[in-house]
Amino acid sequence: MADLAELYQQVIIDHNRNPRNFRAIADANRTADGDNPLCGDRISLYVKVENGTVADIGFQGKGCAISQASASLMTGAVKGKTIEEAERLFQAFHSMVTSDGTQAPDTSLLGKLAAFAGVRQFPARVKCANLAWHTLHAALAGDGKASTE
């Protein structure tokens, strides 16, 4: 039985209400727009990469609590990380929200991002949680656009 309290954890509610790094970055050298056409969730991501490291990152966007809190927590998690470390986090996050739940999420790697473990019980909302990460992936790959469709 899916549990609302597992989906809407306090950390998610908090980051939705007070998103961190919610700003455009004027000298960003990697940007991408992500959208979730079904729901209308949208984010614009601004990344400043220096020497293979995410030196600064910000986002702006509109959408459901899951999509916006995920973007806020993602920016916090990858800031200061190398591109390889950020990609590893993307893979770990992706497998956490799409797994069958038999394997416990790697909390030592994911840290606060483990708050999204409950999303996998809500298949309609997995795309909301993944949007920011797909957008990051697109920005780092130089694609400029990401869509969950």
Partner 1 sequence: MAHGVAPAAAAPPAFDVARVRSDFPILSTTVRGKPLVYLDNAATGQKPRAVIDAVTRFYREENASVHRGVYHLSEQATDRYEATRGRVARYIGAADPREVVFVRGTTEAINLVASSWGRANLKRGDEVLVTAMEHHSNLVPWQMVCEATGAQLRVIPMDRDGALLLEEAEQLCTDRTRLVAVVHVSNSLGTVNPVQELVALARAKGALVLVDGAQALPHGPVDVASLGCDFYAGSGHKMFGPTGIGFLWGRRQLLDSMPPYQGGGSMIRKVTFPRTTFADAPARFEAGTPHIEGVIGLGAAVDYLQSLPWDSVRQHEARLLEYATECLREVAGVTVYGTAPQKASVLSFTLDGVHAHDVGTIADQDGICVRAGHHCTQPVMDFFGIAATVRASFAFYNTREEADALARAVAQARRIFG
d(CA 30, CA 134): 14
d(CA 87, CA 68): 20
Does 22 bind partner 1 (CB under 8 A)? Our answer is no
Could you give the C-alpha distances from 14 to 39, 84, 102, in angstroms and in order?
21, 28, 28
Q: Which of 30, 48, 79, 125 binds partner 1 (CB under 8 A)?
A: 125
Least gap, CB of 147 to partner 1 (angstroms): 16
Does 124 bind partner 1 (CB under 8 A)? Our answer is yes
Size of the site for partner 1 (CB under 8 A): 20
Residue 30 · residue 140 · CB < 8 Å: yes
User: Which residue type sits at 131?
Assistant: L
Does 115 bind partner 1 (CB under 8 A)? Our answer is no
Least gap, CB of 40 to partner 1 (angstroms): 5
How many residues does this entry show for the chain? 149
Least gap, CB of 30 to partner 1 (angstroms): 26
Interface residues with partner 1 (CB under 8 A) are 1-2, 4, 7-8, 13, 16-17, 38-40, 62-66, 122, 124-125, 128
